[in-house]
Amino acid sequence: MSRANLQAKLPVMITAVVFLALYLGAGLHFDNFLTLRVFFNQFSTNSFLGIVAVGMTFVILTGGIDLSVGSMIGCTSIMAASLMKFHHVHPLVGLGIPLLFGILIGYTQGVLVAKFSLPPFLVTLAGLFFCRGVALFISQETLNIEDEFFKKSLSEVSFHITDKATVSVPSIIFILVVAVGMFVSLRTPFGRNVFAIGGNRQSAELMGLPVRKTLIGVYTLSGFLGALGGAVFTIFTSSGNATSATGLELDAIAAAVIGGTLLSGGYGSVFGTLLGVGILGVVQTAIAFDGNLNSWWTKIVIGALLMAFMLVQKGIERAATRKVTV
């Protein structure tokens, strides 16, 4: 591996090492932590976070941010639940309409950012308010889904790997999204445009790349993945709640940053984000396993981890620029 290549891979490698250290450390400390059952459960419980974090990675790679994904989950989950419960539509339609809603909101945000040059955090903040408002407007109560097809073929389905370890539908969707996200970011023109815009928007424009179209595409993708996260959340909990996933957008940003994606854009990877989601999941599970630590320690530990990773990134960045200038 060349030196430059090594330097580019360093943040992801550090994340991978930290993930393994945390995972093994927790495994040595707690009984039953290293079982396949706990491992696959991680995929289920973090599936919606992981899905929106993939979308967030694309947005951050262009140098933007999407704060609307958490409330998008709440909005689409309550929408799906109410469609199934009160309007008795087929579950696939009930989960499909919210997906269209997500695409529409994402597209609108993309147009506002790309065409009218409004700041991304402002546009998506308005999106956050809008989605949460729509969600509360639909219903303030938790709606349980009783539909037979929904239960039999989505929420209660699990595939046995061993007799105790199971893989659920949410985790399969999560893994698929990560795989497609990695492919799109690394092997398609769209992915290359995303990196180019994040690296230097002016250069990308001068090269004749479709900057606006790509930006609109990225926000539409994030809106779609937010809605898909909502669908997965609905399947995972078999219910819809308007206030669910409040603040999830920040976990998604944290996952991307911990995974080595630079917030200034142009640099990062979907695989890194997967590791970031893994680290957040291990911290949460370990604190739950301990039982003595209060839940607020999760927040403090995640904050401290986030800070440590940003300092490492800054250190690498400074070392790199020093080499260029000397």
> 276, exposed or middle or buried, with CB in 10 Å at 0-12, 13-18, 19+?
buried
Site track 7-46 with another protein (rule: CB under 8 A), x = hit: ----------------------------------------
Of 57, 66, 97, the C-alpha closest to 219 is 66
244/72 Cα distance (integer angstroms): 10
Site track 295-324 with another protein (rule: CB under 8 A), x = hit: xxxxxx-xxx-xx--xx--x----------
Q: Which of 87, 90, 115, 164 binds another protein (CB under 8 A)?
A: 115
For the record, the structure tokens of 63 come out as 């140098």
User: CA 293 → CA 25, 28, 30, 39, 177, distances in Å?
Assistant: 17, 18, 14, 21, 33
Site track 122-141 with another protein (rule: CB under 8 A), x = hit: xx-xxxxxx-xxx-xx--x-
For the record, the structure tokens of 62 come out as 């262009």
**35 or 298: CB nearest another protein:** 298
143-144 and 239-240 beta bridge pairing: antiparallel
Q: Which of 3, 32, 116, 208 binds another protein (CB under 8 A)?
A: 116
- φ, ψ for residue 159, nearest 5 deg: -100, 130
Distance separating the N- and C-terminal Cα atoms of the chain: 23
Q: Which of 144, 153, 203, 264 binds another protein (CB under 8 A)?
A: 264
**314 or 323: CB nearest another protein:** 314
**108 or 193: CB nearest another protein:** 108
Q: Counting contacts by CB under 8 A, is residue 189 touching another protein?
A: no
Q: Under the rule (CB under 8 A), what is the footprint of another protein?
A: 65, 112, 115-119, 121-123, 125-130, 132-134, 136-137, 140, 250, 253-254, 257, 263-264, 294-300, 302-304, 306-307, 310-311, 314
